Amino acid sequence: MVNEEVDILKKSEQVPVLVDFWAPWCGPCRFLGPIIEELAREANGLWQLVKVNTDEQPEFMHKYHIQGIPTMKMFYNRQVIGEQVGALPKHELKRWIESLIPTPEKKEWTALSQRLSSVNEQEGKKLLEEFISRFPSHQEARILWLRSVVWHEPQKALNHLREWKDLGAHTDLVQDIEALARLMTFNPEGKTKVDDMLSEAAAHLRSNDIEGALRKLVDSIMYDKHAHDELARKACIAIFHHLGEQHELTKVWRRRFSMALY
The pLDDT, as a whole number, for residue 110 is: 85
Please report the pLDDT score of residue 10 as a whole number.
94
Q: How many CB atoms lie within 10 A of CB 103?
A: 11
246 and 203 within one domain: yes
The number of helices, as runs of H, and strands, as runs of E, in the chain is 12, 4
Spatial separation of the C-alpha atoms in residues 39 and 49, rounded to whole Å: 9
13-26 in b/e form (b: 16+ CB < 10 A) is eeebbbbbbbbeeb
Exposure string (b/e) for 135-153, b if CB count within 10 Å is 16 or more? beebeebbbbbbbbbbbee
Both 9 and 95 in a single domain?
yes
DSSP code string of 115-131: HHTTS-HHHHHHHHHHH
Q: Which of 100, 119, 134 is where one domain is finished? A: 100
> Is 168 part of a structural domain of the chain?
no
Contact assessment for residue 66 and residue 54, using Cβ atoms and an 8 Å cutoff: yes
Q: In this structure, are 67 and 119 located in the same domain?
A: no
The model's pTM: 0.64
Residue 188 is assigned to a structural domain of this protein: yes
Residue 160 inside a domain? The answer is no
18 shares its domain with 63: yes
- Residues annotated as part of the active site: 26, 29
CATH number at residue 12: 3.40.30.10
pLDDT in the model for residue 33: 94
Stated as kind and residue range, the H or E segment containing 46 is none
Strand runs labelled E in the chain: 17-22, 48-53, 71-76, 79-85
Residue 157 lies in a domain: no
pLDDT of residue 128: 95
Backbone torsion region of residue 260, taken as left when φ is above 0, otherwise alpha when ψ lies between -120 and 50, otherwise beta: alpha
- Strands 79-85 and 17-22, bridge-based pairing: unpaired
Range of the structural domain that residue 70 is part of: 4-100
Domain boundary among 72, 100, 128: 100
Domain-embedded: residue 39: yes
57 domain residue, yes or no: yes
Are 96 and 112 contained in the same domain? no
Could you list the pLDDT tens digit for every one of the 262 residues in the chain? 899 999 999 999 999 999 999 999 999 999 999 999 999 999 989 999 999 999 999 999 999 999 999 999 999 989 999 999 999 999 999 999 988 988 888 889 888 988 998 999 889 999 999 999 999 999 999 999 998 898 889 889 989 988 998 887 788 888 999 999 999 988 887 789 999 999 999 999 989 999 999 999 999 999 999 999 999 999 999 999 989 999 999 999 999 999 999 8
If asked whether residues 228 and 251 sit together in one domain, one would say yes
Q: Among residues 8, 6, 10, 12, which one has the least CA distance to residue 20? A: 8
Nearest residue to 17 (alpha-carbon basis) of 76, 99, 65? 76
In a shared domain, residues 142 and 65 = no
Looking at the structure, tell me whether residues 230 and 187 fall in a common domain.
yes
- Check whether residue 50 and residue 16 sit in a common domain: yes
Could you write out the DSSP letters of every residue in 135-146? Answer: -TT-HHHHHHHH
For the chain, how many structural domains are there in total?
Answer: 3
Give the separation between CA 176 and CA 167, rounded to whole angstroms. Answer: 13
Look at residues 43, 52, 55 and name the one whose alpha carbon lies nearest to residue 9: 52
Question: What are the distances in angstroms from CA 7 to CA 11, 61, 65, 77, 78?
Answer: 6, 17, 19, 13, 11
Does 132 lie in the same domain as 94?
Answer: no
Which of 65, 100, 135 is the last residue before a domain boundary? 100
Q: Provide the H-helix boundaries in 58-118.
A: 59-63, 90-100, 104-116
In a domain, 55, yes or no: yes
Backbone angles phi, psi at 80, to 5 degrees: -80, 120
Asked if residue 174 belongs to a domain, the reply is no
